Each structure stands twice: as C-alpha cells, then as structure tokens.
Structure 1
Amino acid sequence: MKKVLVVDDAAFMRLSLKTSLEKNGYEVVGEADNGLKAVEMYKMLKPEIVTMDITMPEMDGIEALGEIMKYDPKAQVIMLSAMGQEVKIKEAVLLGAKGFVVKPFKEDYLIKALSKF
C-alpha cells in the first residue's frame, strides 16, 4: 500500500482526494493545507507520493515542490491545478513534478497518474 501526503488548502478537496485514494488501495498518511506544512510533513512522514495543489496560502505548491525536491530529489509529486494554469504546470515539471491532474479531478485519471509510481 503506497503512502500518500495530500496537500490542498480546500478541506473538501483533501477529503475528496483522501476518499478516492483510500478506495483505490492507497494509505493517506497526512494532509496539509499549505506549502509550509507540506514540506514539514514530507520530511517527517516520508510519503511515497505527494498530491500537491498549486494555489495555496503561505507557500504555494510550486515553492513547496522546489523545497521538497531539494530535500529529496527522488520525490514523487503530482501537481493538481485548475484549468488555465499551464505556465505554473510547466514550471512544476521543470522543478521535478512527475505529472499533473486537472481539478476538478476524475477519480480514474487521478489513480492512473499515481499508478506510475
């Protein structure tokens, strides 16, 4: 069972992601509502996969991704973003994101993206 850290500032989105992931055999080991907490939790929990929202308070997903990749260059981070964030998605991929899922997400697409790891 792969361990996942879910990062999104919207509680309903974290719940939706957690429900979909657990239903498909993933273990959600932690949740963060901003990038600062995400980096701290990544270091503490050492998840195998991170789902990372792009737009969040305190530290956005791009900055958090950069910090996580500095800490662990092999981190498996999937970015989640709303439509119209193509520039941010390209930036995330250049920083080391392993993929992205558009929100609102379709469960099968999310699981397909995560199943590569």
Structure 2
Amino acid sequence: MMSKNVSILLIDDNDITREVLRVVLDGQGYNVVGEATDGGSGLDLALKLRPDIILLDVVMPKISGLEILPKMKDMVPEARILMVTASKDQETINEAVTAGIHGFIEKPFNAQKIIDTVAGVVAKMGK
C-alpha cells in the first residue's frame, strides 16, 4: 500500500499534539490534508476534504470528540476514525467503541505507536 494515497485529517485542540502527529505521519509518507482545533470545525473540514482517516481528540473546547463522533460517522461514513486520548476512563472508551471508532492512540504517545495504529487501520482499508 502506498501511504501517500492515504489522506488524514487531524482534529485536536493542542498545537503540539497536532505538530507531533503531522511530523510523524508526514515522515511515513501519509498525506495530512487538514487540521482543526475543535469538533465543529473538524466536521466542516471532514465534509470538505473527505479524508480516509480522521485522528480525533476526545477532549476539546466547544464540541468534544465524543460529541461530534456520531455526526461525523453519519456524515463522513467512509472515513476511518481513530480517537486520540489521554483518558483511560472505561466509560469514555466504551462510548467511543459503541459509536464505531476504528482504534485508539493513547497520550502520551510515541512515534511507533502512531505509525503502528495508523498502519493497522490502513491495512484493513485495502487501499
């Protein structure tokens, strides 16, 4: 699979987190097509860009990842969504899994964890 054919949208309110994700994913040849700092603007970008994968932070201002997740799944059903979270709260994890996410990247993360998680989702996409 050619990773450059995979488009990724980053939705996280933390500038440093987005920067780390972008640098790691760019380094692997993925195409980071956009970035947003909250769920509402993230959904707008997802509708416009139609990314293959969305990395969605759980805790954000305005609209959280968990709040926007059902709408995102409904409006951009082709996208694979990975939740990015520092929460180890079982209720949060259950809510995200029930909503149909495709995986988790737990904070603090390292480059290998990001690469492995995204590569696992890409492998299942058959791109």
Fold similarity call, TM over 0.5 = yes
* Post-superposition offset of 1:109: 1.2
Higher helix share: 2
| Residue of 62, 67, 78 corresponding to 2:82 | 78
Matched, 1:49 2:53: yes
After the TM superposition, which residues 97-116 of structure 1 pair with which residues of structure 2 at under 5 Å, given as runs?
A: 97-115=101-119, 116=121
Q: 8, 12, 18: which is aligned to 2:12?
A: 8
- RMSD value over aligned CA atoms? 1.1
Where has structure 1 moved over 4 Å in runs of 4 or more? Answer: none
Are 1:37 and 2:34 matched, yes or no? no
Aligned residue type for 1:74: E
SS of 2:23's equivalent?
A: helix
Segment of structure 1 superposing worse, 83-92 or 106-115: 83-92
Unpaired segments ≥5 residues, structure 1: none
| CA deviation string 1:10-40 (max 9, x = no partner) | 1111111100110011111000000001110
Letter in 1 for 2:46: Y
Structure-2 separation of matches of 1:25 and 1:78: 18
Higher-Rg member (1/2)? 2
**Unpaired stretches in structure 2, ≥5 consecutive residues:** 123-127
Conserved 8 A contact 1:79-1:89: no
State the secondary structure of the residue aligned to 1:15. Answer: helix
Match of 2:109, SS state, is coil
Give 1:68's aligned residue: 72
Contact 2:46–2:76 (CA<8 Å) still a contact in 1? no
